Amino acid sequence: MVKRKLAALEKVDADLTNLQFKIRRDPKSYEGEFADQYGLYQSQKEIFQQAPAAANDTSVTSLKDLIDFVTHVADCYPKQTRDFPQDLLDILRQHHNDLDGELREKIAGSLVLLRRKDIIDSSRLLDTLFPILVSTRSKSLRAFLFQKIISDLRTSNANSTNHRLNRSVQKTLHELLASDRASRKGLWAVRITRELWRRQLWTDAKAVEIMKEAALADNGKLIVGGVSFFLGGDQEREELQDESSDEEAVDMGKIKHQMATNKKNKKNKKMMDQAVATVKRKERKKRQPHPLNFSALHLLHDAQSFAEDLFQKHVQSNKSRLSFEQKLLVLQLISRLVGLHQLTLMNLYSWFLKYLTPRQQSVTSLLASLAQATHSLVPPDVLEPLIQKIANEFVSEAAAGEIASAGLNAIREICVRQPQAMNETLLQDLVMYRKSKDKGVMMAAKGLLSLYREVGADMLKKRDRGKGATMDLKSGERREQRFGEQPVGEIEGLELLQKWKTEEQERWRAEKGLPLLDRSQDVNDEEQEYDTDEWEVEGDNSDDSGGWINVESDKDIELTDSDDETPAVKKAKLDRSGEAEDEDKENRDVKSQDAIEQISNLATSRILTPADLAKLKELRLSASINQHLPKAQRKRAAQVAAALQARHADDALTAAEIEGLASLSAKTSKAEKISKAKEGQDDRKEHKSTQALRKQKKEAEGKSTTNKEKARKKNFLMTLGKGKAKNKRSLMDQRKVLRAHVERGKKGGRRGNRGI
């Protein structure tokens, strides 16, 4: 009996499939057959709706096949099937908990297919699927609906951004989170938003507001989801973009060579067409304008209030139910917000005081968060107690090397962002640790010393300042930076570009045999010489423009002390008195002011081209390296400077950077040490001979081997007869062979490839 039913069902399914193909080819001829099947569907639907839970397998299978049939041909008969989408929506909305699993997925898939045929719109579909996603108890249905919702939103935003649909869905997700902050239903809003952000479908501030609402929720999973989005969502988006751009390139030359040598058939032609289409698609993608993907942290509307709410609700409050690891995650977000937007959150720094001990769990993460929350607008008196406590708790001769190096690294990271937080006595004590036998402590102390040689050399002892800092202090080129002082309108290293342009211009004039320019003139003086507008203005204002100008003799000129005339410059005395020193100081100030004017003139009178900016970057990098070092040390210093320059200001500070060399401690296993040492050797290839490399290159290019190489692999028994023939040659035959060999060498081989 069961076999008969299965055979009958299979026959019905095959009949519906054949009828479907016939209707797709000629809908008008099979309108009657479709009407019969559609009437059967309506009767089966009415029977099923009376008792959905009591339906047997036969009726469920029959209804599933009929729904699939009507869905595929619904666009051929729009009038007859105008109520069909609403029937499916009602069944799924009312009975999704009682339906059979296969029938439920078939109805949801049919609705998605109707959306692709433009029979229903996305808003109508999503308004039905999203409440079911939130309320259903079936895990498989939730995963299926989540996949279909993401797929539908991707399809709707494929050709152009569907702003109306995106705003509608974003409003629904935001209301879901705001209505009940303690419920876990908002977790689907977090997942949908994060997935669409990763795929670069939602890149606006409204998506960020949804995740902001999740970070301020009361449920622990929602908080972790929202905070993790701000800390790692941008990185996920970049990784997905890199994966899509790192697809294996299509070698058109190799494919054309295969098409020319292989047998012509439809399969090879199809492969060639696919390769051409792939190359064209990649070229179109390259020509498309690059989207401006702003970071989620930069799209926040009110970062100050967001950081305050996070700190008061999840970190400072005693009512918070978050674990210490979750609080640490929230603290990382707060510190990044404070450091990136230079926010004012004074309670945050006092909160750190009780946790700055080596016995504290995850203390390196806390130190990294403290350094991240430091910026140039934080008052030094707020940070000074924190630095003092880190020095007292971590940096001492009795402390272990890992602890001391972590403390010194943390102090250095804080002082990089606010150098004025360090006092002179403590700095001189910490710098002495550069003589420690522990390598991590020595490197951390040297890093602190090199920092203050640049930003506060006057706080160091004379023997610790270094040659460059000492000379700059004597010449007065370095001055103390005041609290809150920000450089405005300056381009770092612009004076180097000015000097390079001047030297290049002098070199060019020397090669052409032209007189050299005055070094005090600006690079743009030549343009000013040919400014005819100034000549015309001066000519109009002159009274005697056409006659001679009477110049008085030098003897008739009298020097007066009036305010209208410039006083004569006094000569310095030989004994270098106080007046001469003041005069030299004034002259240095005038020269520095002239230099500033020249630099600003270059920045305001010329548009810096990409070549100028590249040269400026190169000059800045070379100027930051001590040229007096040996060649090997200079190369390493250049690599370190390039790595520091490549580090972006928005990048997060991790606990591994605070630990420094302590991460390679004795507790680390041998395998971990080897993998750590080989991190930068991924691009290094294994050693191979020259012949092996040539062979590998030929195989990669799809080229064949030579006859000589093929002869080496020939079977020994196949070459045995030729070897015996060589042994039986006479002297005359041997001489002919050798002469022929010499002649071929003179011609350049058998084909005579040697050039004329």
| pLDDT confidence tier of residue 533, bands split at 50, 70 and 90 | very low
DSSP 640-704: HHHHHHHS-TTSPPPHHHHHGGGGG-TTS-HHHHHHHHTGGGTTPPPP--HHHHHHHHHHHHTPP
Among residues 249, 425, 228, the alpha carbon closest in space to that of 329 is found at: 228
Residue 750 confidence (pLDDT) above 80: no
Residue 3 confidence (pLDDT) above 50: no
Residue 549 confidence (pLDDT) above 80: no
- 118 to each of 109, 121, 155, 156, how far by Cα in Å? 14, 6, 12, 11
Pick the residue with more confidence: 735 or 284? 735
Angle at 493 between CA 488 and CA 499, to 5 degrees: 125
Average pLDDT over residues 530-541: 40
Pick the residue with more confidence: 587 or 361? 361
Burial of 659 (0-12, 13-18, 19+ CB in 10 A): buried
Percentage of residues of the chain with pLDDT beyond 70: 73
Residue 232 confidence (pLDDT) above 90: no
Residue 702 confidence (pLDDT) above 80: no
Burial of 192 (0-12, 13-18, 19+ CB in 10 A): buried
Q: Which two tokens stand for residue 547?
A: 């006659």
Residues 6+ apart with CB under 8 A from 584: 572
Residue keyed to tokens 């943390």: 410
- Average pLDDT of every residue of the chain: 77
What's the CA gap between 300 and 233, in Å, rounded? 14
Percentage of residues of the chain with pLDDT beyond 90: 16
Q: Which two tokens stand for residue 440?
A: 């991590």
| pLDDT confidence tier of residue 725, bands split at 50, 70 and 90 | confident
Confidence (pLDDT) at 528: 43
Residues 667, 312 contacting (CB under 8 angstroms): no
Confidence (pLDDT) at 60: 79
Q: List pLDDT tens digits, range 42-64.
A: 888 888 878 776 677 777 788 88
Confidence (pLDDT) at 335: 93
Burial of 319 (0-12, 13-18, 19+ CB in 10 A): exposed
Q: List pLDDT tens digits, range 67-81.
A: 888 888 888 888 888
Q: Which range, of 499-503, 623-627, 656-660, averages the lowest pLDDT?
A: 623-627
Residues 64, 88 contacting (CB under 8 angstroms): no
| pLDDT confidence tier of residue 558, bands split at 50, 70 and 90 | very low
Which 8-state DSSP code applies to residue 395?
-
For the ranges 318-332, 448-462, 502-516, the maximum mean pLDDT occurs at 318-332
Q: Residue 232 in 3-state DSSP? A: helix
DSSP 195-206: HHHHTTS--SHH
R_g of the chain, CA atoms, integer Å:
40
Confidence (pLDDT) at 753: 62
Find the DSSP H helices in 246-376: 252-261, 266-287, 303-310, 324-341, 346-351, 363-372
Q: Which range, of 325-339, 518-532, 633-647, averages the lowest pLDDT?
A: 518-532
Q: Which range, of 251-255, 523-527, 676-680, 705-709, averages the lowest pLDDT?
A: 523-527
Confidence (pLDDT) at 228: 92
Confidence (pLDDT) at 543: 43
Q: Which range, of 72-81, 295-304, 444-453, 621-630, averages the lowest pLDDT?
A: 621-630
Q: List pLDDT tens digits, range 661-700.
A: 665 554 556 676 677 666 655 555 677 888 888 888 888 8
Average pLDDT over residues 561-568: 43
| pLDDT confidence tier of residue 88, bands split at 50, 70 and 90 | confident
What's the CA gap between 529 and 306, in Å, rounded? 57
Q: Which two tokens stand for residue 183?
A: 């419920």
Residues 6+ apart with CB under 8 A from 617: 645
Q: List pLDDT tens digits, range 466-508.
A: 877 787 777 776 666 777 776 665 666 677 777 787 888 888 8
Strands (E) located in 340-449: none
Confidence (pLDDT) at 69: 87
Residues 6+ apart with CB under 8 A from 170: 202, 206, 207, 210
